[in-house]
């Protein structure tokens, strides 16, 4: 699906895919937001605003560079950013990280089925795998279609839940004491954005090549970054109202249970929808990259890739978010620095 026509609709499509790619299992459940923002107390509000600015600026810049160098995959983009030799090493490392992240997201989908619905963890994994493969085989068209539906619903729910939290608790999130070392809190937005933009490369790089107009990319990047900042703020406000928020695997679901129980079933569906879009985005990017590297059928690549991710997902969800994501954030800082300095 070539996104060519200069229109706000086309820009919104890019913005929706941008948001859907970033909003994964950790984001939608709230676990990732606790890890990078809410556990640092009052400063979480400020560092989220910093993250929003970085998402708008650097997400747009990444897509513009991708379009201008005619990069069809993150491999070509990283070779431009790091140089051919270092870029090859970075791409291999990216491949491993993306597979691990895909497994974490898939595991998050299983956790939603098990912890919130009382269904089988394995059933959740299998349903997600089947649906993901169906969407991936439709390419960018299927990816845009999924995100255009799910992202607006997520925004509406985030606004309602945050508004309800403010009505009940006022602006208490602005005086929330930090649970963790506050010095790390100021580094957190840079780690968070660098990790997420690095992970978004497999989708945003080929997506930018399909938008033939810089105007669309700039507006789409602005819309996507602004919406990400808004969702981060609303989720942070909601989670901050939850006693012992750092002890929950899916804190956003706990917030809804306490404040809006009648909407609990719908919100669980929204959480699952956001996790699903990120699973699809991850598999889509990996499939395109491996297809170009191995020169084999996209169907074979997709089935083998999904099988590997499924096996890794058996390890678990919560502890992986807690330990792997900050580590990947530190490693991805080099990507952020080069993205800033590149013309």
Tell me the three-class secondary structure of the chain, residue by residue: CCECCCCHHHHHHHHHHHHHHHCCHHHHHCHHHHHHCHHHCCHHHHHHHHHHHHHHHHHHHHHHHHHHCCCCCHHHHHHHHHCHHHHHHHHHHHHHHHHHHHHHHHHHHHHHHHHHCCCCHHHHHHHHHHHHHHHHCCCHHHHHHHHHHHHHHHHHHHHHHHHHHHHHHCCHHHHCCCCCCHHHHHHHHHHHHHHHHHHHHHHHHHHHHHECCHHHHHHHHHHHHHHHHHHHHHHHHHHHCCCCHHHCCCHHHHHHHHHCHHHHHHHHHHHHHHHHHHHHHHHHHHHHHHHHHHCCCHHHHHHHHHHHHHHHHHHCCHHHHHHHHHHHHHHCHHHHHHHHHCC
pLDDT at 114 over 60: yes
Where residue 318 falls among pLDDT bands split at 50, 70, 90? low
- Mean pLDDT value of segment 292-301: 78
Provide the pLDDT for residue 49.
Answer: 95
Any idea how long the chain is?
343
pLDDT at 289 over 80: no
188-208 pLDDT tens trace: 899 899 888 888 887 788 888
CA distance linking residue 208 with residue 310, whole number of Å: 29
- Angle at 213 (CA atoms; ends 210, 219), nearest 5 degrees: 100
CA torsion through residues 35, 74, 277, 217, sign: positive
Provide the pLDDT for residue 151.
Answer: 66
Provide the pLDDT for residue 330.
Answer: 78
Which residues touch 26 (CB under 8 Å, ≥6 apart)?
32, 33, 35, 104, 108, 321, 325
Provide the pLDDT for residue 316.
Answer: 67
Where residue 31 falls among pLDDT bands split at 50, 70, 90? confident
Per-residue CA distances from 341 to 74, 87, 181, 217, 337 (Å) = 18, 16, 30, 20, 6
Provide the pLDDT for residue 2.
Answer: 46
For residue 264 the two structure tokens come to 């609990």
Provide the pLDDT for residue 238.
Answer: 85
Which residues touch 296 (CB under 8 Å, ≥6 apart)?
none
Provide the pLDDT for residue 180.
Answer: 66
- Mean pLDDT value of segment 42-63: 92
Residue 248 three-state SS:
coil
Please give the DSSP secondary-structure letter assigned to residue 114: I
The whole-angstrom distance between residue 105's C-alpha and the CA centroid of its chain comes to 10
131-181 pLDDT tens trace: 888 877 765 565 566 666 766 777 787 788 888 888 877 777 777 777 666
- Mean pLDDT value of segment 48-61: 94
Q: What is the pTM of this model?
A: 0.79
> 43-47, 60-64, 261-265: lowest mean pLDDT where?
261-265
19-29 pLDDT tens trace: 877 876 566 67
Provide the pLDDT for residue 4.
Answer: 45
- Angle at 23 (CA atoms; ends 234, 158), nearest 5 degrees: 25
CA distance linking residue 291 with residue 305, whole number of Å: 11
pLDDT at 343 over 50: yes
Higher-pLDDT residue of 325 and 275 is: 275
Provide the pLDDT for residue 48.
Answer: 94
Provide the pLDDT for residue 110.
Answer: 86
pLDDT at 53 over 90: yes
CA torsion through residues 110, 331, 33, 27, sign: negative
Provide the pLDDT for residue 52.
Answer: 94
What percentage of the chain carries pLDDT values higher than 70? Answer: 89
Provide the pLDDT for residue 106.
Answer: 86
Question: Residue 134's CB: how many other CB atoms inside 10 A?
Answer: 11
The whole-angstrom distance between residue 62's C-alpha and the CA centroid of its chain comes to 16
- Mean pLDDT value of segment 318-332: 73
Question: Residue 109's CB: how many other CB atoms inside 10 A?
Answer: 26
pLDDT at 66 over 80: yes
Residue 139, sorted as left (phi over 0), alpha (psi -120 to 50) or beta, turns out to be: left
Q: Which domains does the chain have, with CATH numbers?
A: 24-341 (1.10.4160.10)
Average of per-residue pLDDT values in the chain:
81
Provide the pLDDT for residue 226.
Answer: 93
């Amino acid at each position: 699906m070539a996104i060519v026509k200069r229109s706000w609709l086309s820009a919104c499509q890019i913005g929706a895919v941008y948001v859907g790619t970033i909003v994964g299992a950790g984001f939608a459940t709230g676990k990732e937001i606790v890890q990078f923002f809410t556990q640092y107390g009052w400063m979480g509000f400020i560092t989220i605003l910093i993250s929003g600015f970085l998402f708008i600026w650097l997400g747009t810049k990444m897509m513009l560079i991708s379009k201008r160098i005619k990069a069809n995959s993150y491999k070509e983009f990283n070779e431009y950013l790091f140089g051919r030799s270092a870029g090859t090493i970075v791409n291999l490392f990216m491949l491993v990280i993306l597979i691990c992240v895909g497994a974490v997201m898939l595991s998050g989908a299983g956790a939603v089925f098990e912890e919130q619905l009382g269904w089988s963890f394995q059933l959740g994994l299998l349903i997600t795998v089947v649906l993901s493969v169906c969407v991936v085989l439709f390419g960018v068209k299927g990816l845009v279609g999924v995100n255009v539906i799910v992202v607006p619903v997520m925004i509406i729910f985030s606004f309602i839940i945050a508004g309800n939290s403010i009505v009940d608790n006022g602006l208490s999130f602005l005086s929330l004491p930090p649970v963790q070392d506050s010095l790390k809190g100021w580094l957190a937005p840079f780690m968070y954005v660098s990790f997420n933009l690095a992970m978004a490369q497999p989708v945003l790089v080929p997506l930018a090549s399909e938008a033939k107009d810089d105007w669309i990319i700039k507006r789409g990047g602005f819309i996507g970054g602004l919406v990400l900042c808004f969702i981060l703020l609303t989720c942070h406000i909601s989670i901050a109202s939850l006693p012992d928020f750092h002890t929950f695997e899916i804190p956003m679901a706990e917030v809804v249970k306490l404040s809006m129980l009648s909407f609990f079933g719908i919100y669980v569906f929204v959480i699952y929808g956001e996790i699903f879009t990120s699973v699809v985005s991850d598999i889509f990017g990996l499939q395109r990259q491996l297809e170009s590297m191995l020169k084999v059928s996209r169907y074979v690549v997709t089935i083998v890739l999904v099988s590997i991710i499924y096996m890794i997902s058996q390890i678990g969800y919560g502890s992986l978010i807690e330990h792997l994501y900050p580590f990947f954030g530190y490693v991805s800082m080099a990507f952020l620095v080069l993205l800033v300095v590149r013309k």
